Structure 1
Amino acid sequence: MRTRFDGMNCSVAQALEVLGDWWTLLIVRDAFMGMRRFGEFQESLGISKNILAQRLSHLVERGVLERVDVGEHGTHYEYALTPMGKDLAVVLTALRQWSDRWVLGHGNEPLLVYDRRTGRPIPPLRICGEDGQPLRARDMELRPGPGITEETLARYRDRLSSDKG
C-alpha cells in the first residue's frame, strides 16, 4: 500500500495524489498521443484491465480526463483530456527532456518534439523571470504562501524567506 499525501500541506505532494504512480502518467502520455479508448490504452501499456479501469476512474474523478459518450447505437465511452489534463503537457515535456538528457543521453531520444508552426525542435524548457531571462535554482526563493499551515511553516522556517513577505 502506498503512502497517502492528501493531508500534506505541499503542492508537490498534492500533485502526487493526482498523478503519483507510473501508470497514471503513462495513461496521460498516451492520451496526448491521441489514444482515447480503453483498449488502446491497454494495448499500448500492457496493463491489466482492472488496474487500467482504476487509473482511468481516478483520472476522471480528479478532473484530468473526462468520459465522453461517443456511442451512436448505445453507450460507448472514450476518454479525453480536460483543460486540467492538457496543462500537463509542460510536466510531460519537462520529464521527457530531463530523461533524454540524464537517463537516455543525447542521440538516444525515442521521440523528438517539433513545433508544427516552424518545423524546428522545441527548445529545452526553462523557468524564466518576468524579464524573460532564464532563472537558475539559486535565483529562486521560496516564501510562505497564503495556504501555508503552521506545521509546514515550522518545518521549513529556517529555509523560507519569511522576512521578505
Structure 2
Amino acid sequence: MAAQRRDPVMPAGRPCAVAGSLKLVGDRWSLVIIREVMFGNHRFTGIAHNSGAPRDRLAARLKSLVEEGVLERRLIEDGVRHEGYFLTEAGEDLRPVIRALLAWGDKWAVTAPPLRVHHRDHDFVARTHCATCGEAVDDADLHEEMLAPGWDMRGRVMTATPQVY
C-alpha cells in the first residue's frame, strides 16, 4: 500500500516541510524504530530489544507509523506465522535521512562510531547530486524560495496597517 501524501496540520510558526516531517517522525523513538526495520528487524520483540523503547511507547509509535503510512504490517512466514513491520515507499525514502544522521552522529554524538557503512570495497561517504542535471551539489549553488503566502525567507511578512485617528 503506497503512502498517501497529505497536508498535515503544520505546527505553529513558519510553514515548513521540516516541521511537518518532524511532526510525523521527530519524536524520540520513530527514527530509531525505522532504523531497526531498515536493519531487518521486522518483529515487535526484535524492534523492542534493539531500540530500547519501552514496550508501551513502541506499540504506540508502531501504530502511528503504520497510520501515517511510513510502515506497513505484513505477514512473515518462517515456520510460524507472524505479522511484521516493513517500510512503505515513504519509509524507504527515509533511508538517506537515517544515513545522514548516522554520519552526523559519528562526527558529533559519539566518541567512536559503533557502525560502519560500506559501499562495495570502501567506506560509504554520501554526496548529494541533483536528480535533474546530475551535478554534485554544493550548498553555495543552492538558494531557497519561500512559497508560503505571507512569508519570506526571514519570516512572516509584516504588512503595514493604516492607523485610524
Could you say which TM-score interval applies, normalised by the shorter chain?
Answer: 0.7 to 0.9
Measured against aligned partners, the alpha-carbon deviations of 1:101-152 in whole angstroms (never above 9, x if no partner) come to 22335xx21110012xx222112x233453523312x43211123xx232x3
Counterpart Cα distance in 1 of 2:156 and 2:144: 10
Gap regions ≥5 residues in structure 2: 1-7, 159-165
Question: Which residue of the other structure, out of 36, 44, 55, is the alignment partner of 2:42?
Answer: 36
- TM-score normalised by length of structure 1: 0.75
Query: Relative to total residues, which structure has the larger helix share, 1 or 2?
Result: 1
Whichever residue aligns with residue 39 of structure 2, its letter is M
SS in 1 for 2:122: coil
Distance 1:64 1:131, change over 3 A: closer
**CA apart distance, 1:93:** 0.5
Where relative contact order (Cα < 8 A, 6+ residues apart) is larger, the structure is 2
Q: Which residue of 2 aligns with 1:51?
A: 57
**Once the two structures are aligned, what percentage of the paired residues are identical?**
30
- TM-score normalised by length of structure 2: 0.75
Counterpart Cα distance in 2 of 1:34 and 1:48: 20
**CA apart distance, 1:50:** 1.2
Say if 1:6 and 1:17, in contact at 8 Å, map to a contact too.
Answer: no
Over the residues paired in the alignment, what is the CA RMSD in angstroms? 2.7
Query: Aligned pairs, how many?
Result: 145
Q: Which residue of 2 aligns with 1:23?
A: 29
Q: Which residue of 1 aligns with 2:95?
A: 89
SS in 2 for 1:112: coil
Gap regions ≥5 residues in structure 1: 159-165
Moved more, 61-70 or 71-80: 71-80
Q: Which residue of 1 aligns with 2:83?
A: 77
- Residue 109 of structure 2 corresponds to residue 109 of structure 1: no
Query: Relative to total residues, which structure has the larger strand share, 1 or 2?
Result: 2
Question: Which residue of the other structure, out of 111, 135, 147, is the alignment partner of 1:132?
Answer: 135
